[in-house]
Chain A
């Protein structure tokens, strides 16, 4: 199956700093990628849809100025958590469907801890 790689897998940062998370489709092109957030023992909540060459679409309640998304190429989307606070600590997961595909493939996830 298709492979989505997410980096880093874990990151600890100080409150007030910014953190960038990368999501790459390794063997296919993805015009669309999705970013999810998962709190401990909870489900995955869709944060935003990343679109190659255009602005991301954010779900209701997600601050677009805090969670900056850039879909620079057909194989790379980045999520930057700006001015991170402890409440931003969570598990962030990206997924991508191959162009024209119905099934999305998931990255390994990034555990963000803000101290």
Chain B
């Protein structure tokens, strides 16, 4: 069975600081990888996704993530965070076949102070 680990439960940063949120998954086969953001009181929004190809993927709002297959990792990064990035961030994975369910990590709460 697949599983996703997000090691950072709560990250607190000042504006303009760099961000890296860790995500590791456990699955032996081909996977698709996703990062979602959930702003307070809002529904999930897709930040970026990786299916294949270039392991460095760029998403919305200046976020990027790098897939490192040998480490089973898909860490999320942003060079300079803003106060508006305060939110909950979820890493998710599904098996490489079409139409499979996403399995989510426990989430990381990011708090950015201005």
Which positions in A face B, CB cutoff 8 Å? 31-32, 34, 36, 41-46, 49, 93, 95, 97, 99-104, 106-109
Is there an interface contact between B102 and A43, defined as CB atoms closer than 8 Å?
A: no
Given contacts A42-B107, A43-B104, A43-B107, contact A108 B99 (CB under 8 A): no
Bound-complex Cα distance A66 to B32 (A): 32
- List residues of chain A with CB within 8 A of the CB of B88: 41
Is there an interface contact between B101 and A44, defined as CB atoms closer than 8 Å?
A: no
Is there an interface contact between B43 and A43, defined as CB atoms closer than 8 Å?
A: no
- Picked from B34, B101, B106, B109, the residue with its CB within 8 Å of the CB of A46 is B101
Closest to B95 in A: A102
Query: Taking the nearest CB of chain B, how far is it from the CB of A38, in angstroms?
Result: 9
- Picked from B43, B46, B101, the residue with its CB within 8 Å of the CB of A107 is B43
- List residues of chain B with CB within 8 A of the CB of A31: 99
Query: Taking the nearest CB of chain A, how far is it from the CB of B30, in angstroms?
Result: 10
Bound-complex Cα distance A102 to B102 (A): 10
- List residues of chain B with CB within 8 A of the CB of A104: 94, 101-102
Query: Taking the nearest CB of chain A, how far is it from the CB of B96, in angstroms?
Result: 8
- List residues of chain A with CB within 8 A of the CB of B101: 34, 46, 49, 104
12 A-B contact pairs sorted by A residue (CB < 8 Å)? A31-B99, A43-B104, A46-B101, A97-B98, A97-B99, A99-B99, A101-B98, A102-B94, A103-B32, A104-B101, A106-B44, A108-B43
Bound-complex Cα distance A104 to B44 (A): 11
Bound-complex Cα distance A52 to B94 (A): 20
Q: Is B51 an interface residue (CB 8 A)?
A: yes
Query: Taking the nearest CB of chain A, how far is it from the CB of B89, in angstroms?
Result: 11
- List residues of chain A with CB within 8 A of the CB of B102: 34, 44, 46, 95, 104
Is there an interface contact between B99 and A43, defined as CB atoms closer than 8 Å?
A: no
